Copies of this chain bind each other. A is one copy, B any other.
Amino acid sequence: MGFDSMDRKSFLGVAGGALLCTIGGKQYKVDSETDLAELSSKVAVPPKVAAAKNDPPLSKADIVGTRKEYWIQAEPVAWNPVPKHRDQMLGTSIKKTVGKTKIQAMAYRQYDANFSKPLGPATIPGPLLDATVGDTLVVHFRNALPYTVTMHPHGVFYSNEMDGSYKGYWSDPGGFVQRGRTFTYVWECPEGTQGSWFYHDHGPLDPTPLYSGLFGPLIVRDPDEPLPDREYFLGFHTFSPGLFPIKSALYSINGRAYTGNTPTMQAKVGDDVAMHVYGIDNDFHTFHIHGHRWQEPAGNVVDNKTFGPGDSFRARWIEDNPGRWLYHCHVFSHLHAGMSGWYIVE
Q: Contact residues of A with B, CB < 8 Å?
A: 3, 6-7, 9-15, 22, 25, 44, 46, 87-94, 96-97, 152, 154-155, 157-161, 163, 165-170, 192-195, 197, 204, 206-207, 210-211, 248, 259, 281-282, 284-286, 288, 290-291, 293, 296-312, 321-326, 330-337
Contacts and interface: CB of A to CB of B under 8 A. Distances in A.
A301 B336 contact: no
A167 B96 CA distance: 21
A311 B169 CA distance: 34
Given A169-B88, A296-B298, A332 B207 contact: yes
A298 B312 CA distance: 15
A337 B14 CA distance: 9
Contacts of A93: 7, 10
Given A10-B96, A11-B92, A288-B310, 16 more contacts: A6-B91, A10-B94, A12-B97, A87-B168, A90-B166, A154-B303, A155-B301, A160-B291, A160-B325, A192-B293, A206-B336, A207-B336, A286-B311, A297-B300, A298-B298, A309-B332
B306 A307 contact: yes
Contact of A305 (B22, B25, B311): B311
B308 A330 contact: yes
A24 to B, nearest CB: 9
Given A10-B92, A160-B321, A293 B155 contact: yes
Given A96-B25, A326-B167, A311 B306 contact: yes
Contacts of A206: 332, 336
- Number of identical monomers bound together in the oligomeric complex: 3
B195 A157 contact: no
A16 B263 CA distance: 29
A161 B324 CA distance: 9
A334 B168 CA distance: 18
A89 B11 CA distance: 11
A21 B88 CA distance: 17
A91 to B, nearest CB: 3
Contacts of A259: 168
A14 B332 contact: yes
13 contacts: A3-B91, A13-B337, A90-B166, A92-B168, A152-B290, A155-B301, A160-B322, A211-B332, A284-B308, A286-B308, A297-B300, A298-B299, A308-B331
Given A154-B303, A168-B91, A308-B286, A335 B13 contact: yes
A132 to B, nearest CB: 15
B290 A165 contact: yes
Nearest to A10: B92
A296 B298 CA distance: 9
Given A155-B303, A331-B282, A92 B14 contact: no
Contacts of A333: 13-15, 282
